[in-house]
Amino acid sequence: MDDKHDLTDDIGDRSLRYLAEIAAAGGGRMAAETLGVNPSVISRQVAAMERRLRFPLIERRGRNVVVTEIGQVMINHYRDNQRRQRDLAARLEEYRHLRRGRVALGVGEGFIGNLIARALQRFSMTYPDILVEIRSGPTPAVLAMVRDDTVDIGLCARSADDPAMRIHPFATRPLCAVVAPTHRFASMTKVPPHELAGERLIFMTEAFGVQHFVQSLLDDVRLNVIPAYRVDLFNTAQTLAAAGLGVSFMSSITARHRSRRTGGGADRSSDRNRLREPDDDARRAQALAGGGSSVEAIGAEFSGSEATLTADSRGSFSFDKLAFRAAKNASSSGGLD
């Protein structure tokens, strides 16, 4: 097998090009004129190939020189290689100018609306031929997708720092208490954490980033509470709160998003963190604040906790740079995947 492989060693494209031109022109002299080289150069190159391959590549028929069957096989091989190289160059040029490629995003629950409104619409208009894959899941799942290189960028609630990732906080949002409209919190623009002591609380499972924020808030004020419910869906938490069965927690952006999905909308005349609902099952989301601090102060305290763009150590850190990531991904994968 090694001997067979060695037969084609040191046979460059130039020698094969000479052979292909002999076939096209009908002789070595005509090929030399077309290529602008000395006929003896072509003769020596072809003779060297014949010695290397141990096969005749050309033969004389009258005044003409034609290629043998083996010679034609070599020419076909050369032309196939040339075609593949042209195709590769064309595809690389498409990747270079972002006319081809893929970017995969892992998105936490509650972020997809904001992602589409603020980033994907603009990105898709600018780079219409880039394939965008979107995978959803809770914060740990999104982080695992980034860590395992399943996605290029993760958009999720921030968790503990991971040395294998780079985390870029790009938005701050208050944490909200979600309650029924008849609840005493519904008339409050901010809710001090110690007010939660006598309430029936609705917690999410540990898989949700918001639950870590709630626990951090309670730890900060040294408040030890036992939840009445622990659920694994925001919709379940929202329904329980709407029924007056307890207080659930969401970021303001998630609360607003879910409010609009159920028919409500933000009351533009009220505080920016309060939601107005038109029906009896409405919820109001109030910002949690502690120790007399303002909503803005709590937002700063949880800076980056609500919306975090997570990428591995090779990633980029803004949606404007998704194009760079797509191009990098395409060039490393060898094709559109």
Same domain, 181 and 127: no
The DSSP element (H or E) to which 81 belongs, if any, is: helix 69-96
Inform me whether the pLDDT recorded for 69 exceeds 90.
yes
User: pLDDT value at position 246?
Assistant: 94
Inform me whether the pLDDT recorded for 102 exceeds 60.
yes
Domain that holds residue 123: 102-171+308-333
Tell me the per-residue pLDDT of 151-191, one tens digit each, with 9 for 90 and over: 988 887 766 667 777 877 765 566 788 888 889 988 888 88
β-pairing, 307-312 vs 153-156, is antiparallel
Find out whether 319 and 326 touch, Cβ atoms under 8 Å.
no
Find out whether 298 and 174 touch, Cβ atoms under 8 Å.
yes
Find out whether 329 and 102 touch, Cβ atoms under 8 Å.
yes
Same domain, 47 and 72: yes
Domain boundary among 95, 122, 139: 95
Query: 277: burial class by Cβ within 10 Å (0-12, 13-18, 19+)?
Result: buried
Share above pLDDT 70 across residues of the chain, in percent, rounded to a whole number? 67
Nearest CA to 301 out of 193, 164, 188, 151 is that of: 193
Domain boundary among 51, 70, 95: 95
Same domain, 194 and 227: yes
Q: Can you tell me the mean pLDDT for 46-73?
A: 88
Sheet-wide strand order for 102-107: 131-136, 102-107, 153-156, 307-312, 165-171
User: pLDDT value at position 68?
Assistant: 92
The DSSP element (H or E) to which 40 belongs, if any, is: helix 39-53
Tell me the per-residue pLDDT of 11-46, one tens digit each, with 9 for 90 and over: 788 889 999 998 888 888 888 888 889 989 998 999
Q: CATH code at 282?
A: 3.40.190.10
Find out whether 111 and 158 touch, Cβ atoms under 8 Å.
no
Share above pLDDT 90 across residues of the chain, in percent, rounded to a whole number? 14
Q: CATH code at 25?
A: 1.10.10.10
- Domain tally, the chain: 3
